[in-house]
Amino acid sequence: MLNINFKLLHMFLLVAEDNSFRRAAEKSNRSEAAVSMQIKHLEQQLGVALFHRTTRHVELTKEGEHLLISVRKALAEVKTGLLHIRESVDMHYGVLSISCVPTVAATRLPHILLAFQKEHPKISVHVRELVATELLESIRRREVDFGIGPKIRTITEFSFKPILSDETYALIPSTYKLPRKSGITLKELSRLPILMLSTSSAFRGELDAALKAKNLTFDTKFEVIQAQTLIAMAEAGLGAAILPKISVPLRTNLQAVPVIDPGMTRQISIITLRGQAFSPAAARLASFVERLIAPE
């Protein structure tokens, strides 16, 4: 495999553009002898003559013409690549990919993306709506720039930057008389028919752990993946829905109260692999998420 010095190719290009060693020497601020030596070095590496030389005239050989075409194409590719990198750094355009848990994607993410697109209209953002286990795997495989999801204390290979504290709430049909409006305990909830998110969610894992610690079980009637489905079931009177506060609708005929004894709060975080560096565009989007995820 040839190991050609790019400085030699640059000098070749200078000579070839004007068919002149003298002009190449002037442009490069070198002596003609130094220019001639570099061209000879390049010819020795390639094993062919690149120029026909006479005392009055210099012109490319057939091999020199082929090399000139290749060098110009290569330089054009390099310039295009550098331009793309520069524009990416300046965030004129680009493509980002993020993963996000459904409870955040369906509630807070849309207005964040709207604000980001207004400021950076030529940057496309692809969103993968995934439960926590799948979200972490997408980050592990570097399929996304970053994830938005709950902090999981037992996992150390990821970096979690907390951006929002999210309490656990119960959405209870109005037919049930609450013992208090300030909250409802797990023990009190265990007497009701319960609607739960599926076991694939990190939120469900935390809830199951809290029940086990209290030696309680729920009368679980339905388990679903989407929070909106759970809310619709609760509104239909099928039971009390247990959800993160971020999913509680602003307008509902349900009684929305925090779960207490124990109170449960998850930390929504921007998630990356430890040591992973953001691209400029990804860093900008992450700053939008951090700034806008909490309602004003």
Set out the domains of the chain in order of their start, with CATH numbers. Answer: 6-89 (1.10.10.10), 94-163+267-292 (3.40.190.10), 166-265 (3.40.190.10)
> CA-to-CA distance for 9 and 16, rounded, in angstroms?
10
> CA-to-CA distance for 259 and 265, rounded, in angstroms?
10
User: What is the sign of the dihedral through the CA atoms of 140, 89, 91 and 296?
Assistant: positive
Q: Long-range contacts: 176-181, Cβ < 8 Å, 24+?
A: 176/240, 176/255, 178/255, 178/257, 181/257
Residue 296 is predicted with a pLDDT of 57
User: What is the sign of the dihedral through the CA atoms of 290, 266, 295 and 230?
Assistant: positive
Residue 122 is predicted with a pLDDT of 87
Residue 205 is predicted with a pLDDT of 87
Residue 295 is predicted with a pLDDT of 74
The DSSP code sequence of 103-126 is: HHHTTTHHHHHHHHHHH-TTEEEE
Residue 198 is predicted with a pLDDT of 87
Residue 6 is predicted with a pLDDT of 79
Helix axis angle, 6-18 to 62-89, nearest 10°: 120
- CA angle at 20 for the pair 15 and 21, rounded to the nearest 5°: 70
Residue 145 is predicted with a pLDDT of 95
Q: Which portions of the chain are predicted below pLDDT 70? A: 1-4, 83-93, 296
